[in-house]
């Protein structure tokens, strides 16, 4: 690298980190996920504004391959963290409802996306028609698990029955979407000179799940007080990069290897270690590497030439993406006897796409599944569907309420005001109220506030409604009489 390229690279990195942070803070002030502002920072620095003059001045062609390499490392680290957060216990906590809703969340938009691809084939199609149709179906079926989890946490709903079911559905949705994408990538790449390598994908998956995972579990079990020393952190990073490189070499994308390595890391007995890995790697990824990825993604987005035909295609993409996902989730939830308002809230949450959608679109652009024009429209769809989730959720179930004051203990044996009853019996003898079990947690139904998860007998004075059936646990409004 020359001195000019080095100074240009450092200046460009400073600009993108600063702008991503500023717009992320602005997005948070507007009650939006920070990822909205960070994505917009990448688009602002791209060719959509000033005919690419700003992008050409800050990011000359000589440093863009270096930016793409940093972005690839950031995406690999992010997918590793997503795999690290993925837990089958969350899916078990959602019960059979999560399985049905997840299938509806993927199959309905996927089918509509394939039909949309047939309609867009003449204007935006690529050489491989089958891969194009399948990829568009996958692109409109994705749900962003990390952004959804952050929204639920900000609203105090992550431990509520609605939040548990939404997280479980998002987990299954992600696994189905990534599996479909892996199949499309494998099939489309099987025609190259190294097509025999794709046959190694299944043995690699089995080896990671049934050989590497038990070995890591035994290693952690032998050292329960294992801390994140520099050597341990280096071993985690090396394993992440090797797994990503292996899946890239066999013909899959590197994101699958990074995600898989996060999944196989042991869960039990290593909570502190996982938390330290998540914190240390997350800070580096979120501060520097992911903003670079948003920049690289934004450099491929060009909305300056958008005409009436492009606006019509964008409207159709939004209609299929939002309508297909909402219809599939809402219908499956109602068939599972979920109340009307909570079904609509769940369908709204599952429409969040965020960073996960951008990663999928980036894979499609690299593999030639879609062109730059359709890529730009899909990025706009990802931003719109993520930005609309918060306001729609607030309109459906209301703003997140503040903490409810706990009444004094001496009123424990009397009936409470309103349409509920106290969970306490005689004085000094609290009795179990209408507690339902979701997964491994017990949950008490509380109206006018998100439902709180408790692990022990509820404290005296907590008011619970008279729920008549298990789906009633998902109510947020007043309980039925």
- Dihedral in degrees, nearest 10, Cα atoms 202, 208, 214, 216: 180
Other C-beta atoms closer than 10 Å to the C-beta of 111 total 16
The model's pLDDT over 283-322, given as tens digits with 9 standing for 90+, comes to 888 889 999 999 999 999 988 888 888 999 999 999 999 9
Q: Copy the structure tokens of residue 206.
A: 């089995």
pLDDT for res 459: 32
Residue among 101, 109, 78, 105 at smallest CA distance from 164: 101
pLDDT for res 323: 94
Q: Which residues pair with 435 in a beta bridge?
A: 444
Going by pLDDT thresholds of 50, 70 and 90, the confidence category of residue 329 is: very high
What is the average pLDDT across 270-287? 86
Work out the burial of residue 232: count CB atoms within 10 Å of its CB; fewer than 13 is exposed, 13-18 middle, 19 or more buried.
Answer: middle
Residue among 169, 364, 179, 148 at smallest CA distance from 260: 179
- Strands lying side by side in the sheet with 435-438: 435-438, 441-444, 452-454
Residues ≥6 apart with Cβ < 8 Å to 341: 396, 397, 475, 476, 477
Going by pLDDT thresholds of 50, 70 and 90, the confidence category of residue 454 is: very low
The answer to whether the CB of 144 falls within 8 A of the CB of 355 is yes
SS (H, E, C) the chain: CCHHHHHHHHHHHHHHHHHHHHHHHHHHHCCCCHHHHHHHHHHHCCCCCHHHHHHHHHCCCCCHHHHHHHHHHHHHHHHHHHHHHCCHHHHHHHHHHHHHHHHHHHHHHHHHHHHHHHHHHHHHCCCCHHHHHHHHHHHCCCCCHHHHHHHHHHCCCCCCHHHHHHHHHHHHHHHHHHHHHHHHHHHHHCCCCCHHHHHHHHHHHHHHHHHHHHHHHHHHHHCCCCCCCHHHHHHHHHHHHHHHHHHHHHCCCHHHHHHHHHHHCCCCCCHHHHHHHHHHHHHHHHHHHHHHHHHHHHHCCCCCCCCHHHHHHHHHHHHHHHHHHHHHHHHHHHHCCCCHHHHHHHHHHCCCCHHHHHHHHHHHHHHCCCCHHHHHHHHHHHHHHHHCHHHHHHHHHCCCCCCCCCCCHHHCCCCCCCCCEECECCCCCECCCCEEEECCEEEECCCCCCCEEECCCCCCCCEECCCCCHHHHHCCCCCCC
Q: Is the pLDDT of residue 451 over 70?
A: no
Task: Look at 416 and 401; give whichever has higher pLDDT.
Answer: 401
Mean pLDDT of the chain: 79
Q: Do β-strands 441-444 and 452-454 pair in parallel, antiparallel, or remain unpaired?
A: antiparallel
Q: Is the pLDDT of residue 447 over 70?
A: no
pLDDT for res 61: 86
pLDDT for res 95: 57
Residues ≥6 apart with Cβ < 8 Å to 328: 104, 105, 106, 107, 108, 109
Q: Is the pLDDT of residue 8 over 60?
A: yes
The model's pLDDT over 200-253, given as tens digits with 9 standing for 90+, comes to 888 999 999 899 999 988 887 777 667 788 888 999 999 999 999 999 898 888
Q: What per-residue string of b and e applies to 389-399 under the rule 16 or more CB within 10 Å gives b?
A: bbebbeebbee
Q: Is the pLDDT of residue 419 over 50?
A: no
The Cα 61–Cα 456 span in angstroms is: 60
The model's pLDDT over 57-96, given as tens digits with 9 standing for 90+, comes to 888 888 999 999 999 999 999 989 988 887 666 655 555 6
Work out the burial of residue 458: count CB atoms within 10 Å of its CB; fewer than 13 is exposed, 13-18 middle, 19 or more buried.
Answer: buried
pLDDT for res 456: 35
The answer to whether the CB of 293 falls within 8 A of the CB of 74 is yes
Most confident of 143-147, 250-254, 355-359, 454-458: 355-359
Residue among 109, 176, 142 at smallest CA distance from 355: 142
Going by pLDDT thresholds of 50, 70 and 90, the confidence category of residue 431 is: very low
pLDDT for res 86: 75
Distance of CA 45 to the CA centre of its chain: 25
């Amino acid at each position: 690298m020359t001195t000019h390229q080095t100074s240009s690279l450092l200046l460009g990195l400073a600009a993108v980190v600063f702008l991503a942070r500023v717009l992320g803070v602005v997005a948070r002030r507007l009650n939006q996920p920070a990822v909205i502002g960070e994505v917009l920072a990448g688009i602002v620095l791209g060719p959509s504004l000033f005919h690419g003059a700003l992008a050409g001045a800050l990011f000359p062609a000589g440093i863009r391959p270096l930016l793409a390499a940093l972005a690839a490392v950031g995406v690999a680290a992010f997918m590793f963290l997503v795999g690290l957060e993925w837990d089958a216990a969350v899916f078990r906590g959602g019960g059979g409802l999560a399985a049905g809703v997840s299938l509806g969340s993927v199959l309905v938009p996927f089918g509509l996306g394939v039909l949309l691809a047939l309609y867009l084939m003449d204007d935006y199609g690529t050489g491989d028609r089958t891969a194009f149709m399948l990829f568009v179906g996958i692109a409109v079926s994705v749900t962003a698990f990390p952004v959804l989890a952050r929204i639920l946490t900000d609203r105090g709903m992550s431990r509520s029955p609605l939040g548990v079911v939404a997280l479980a559905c998002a987990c299954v949705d992600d696994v189905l979407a990534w599996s479909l994408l892996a199949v499309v990538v494998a099939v489309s790449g099987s025609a190259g000179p190294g097509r025999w390598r794709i046959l190694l994908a299944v043995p690699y998956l089995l080896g990671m799940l049934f050989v590497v995972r038990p070995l890591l579990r035994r290693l952690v079990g032998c050292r329960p007080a294992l801390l994140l020393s520099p050597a341990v952190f280096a071993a985690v990073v090396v394993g992440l990069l090797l797994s990503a490189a292996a899946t890239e070499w066999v013909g899959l994308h590197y994101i699958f290897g990074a995600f898989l390595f996060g999944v196989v890391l042991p869960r039990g007995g290593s909570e502190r270690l996982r938390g330290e890995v998540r914190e240390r790697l997350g800070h580096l990824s979120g501060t520097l590497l992911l903003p670079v990825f948003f920049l690289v993604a934004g450099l491929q987005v060009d909305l300056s030439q958008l005409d009436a035909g492009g606006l019509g295609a964008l409207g159709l993409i939004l209609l299929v993406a939002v309508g297909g996902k909402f219809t599939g989730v809402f219908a499956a939830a109602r068939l599972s006897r979920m109340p009307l308002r909570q079904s609509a809230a769940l369908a709204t949450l599952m429409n969040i796409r965020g960073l996960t959608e951008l990663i999928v679109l980036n894979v499609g652009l690299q593999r030639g599944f879609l062109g730059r024009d359709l890529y730009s429209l899909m990025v706009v769809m990802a931003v719109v569907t993520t930005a609309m989730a918060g306001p729609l959720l607030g309109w459906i179930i209301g703003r997140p309420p503040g903490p409810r004051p706990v009444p004094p203990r001496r009123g424990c044996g009397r009936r409470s005001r309103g349409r509920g009853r106290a969970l306490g019996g005689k004085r000094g003898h609290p009795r179990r109220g209408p507690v339902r079990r979701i997964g491994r947690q017990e949950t008490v139904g509380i109206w006018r506030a998100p439902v709180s998860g408790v692990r022990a007998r509820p404290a005296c004075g907590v008011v619970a409604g008279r729920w008549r059936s298990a789906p009633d646990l998902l109510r947020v409004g007043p309980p039925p009489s």
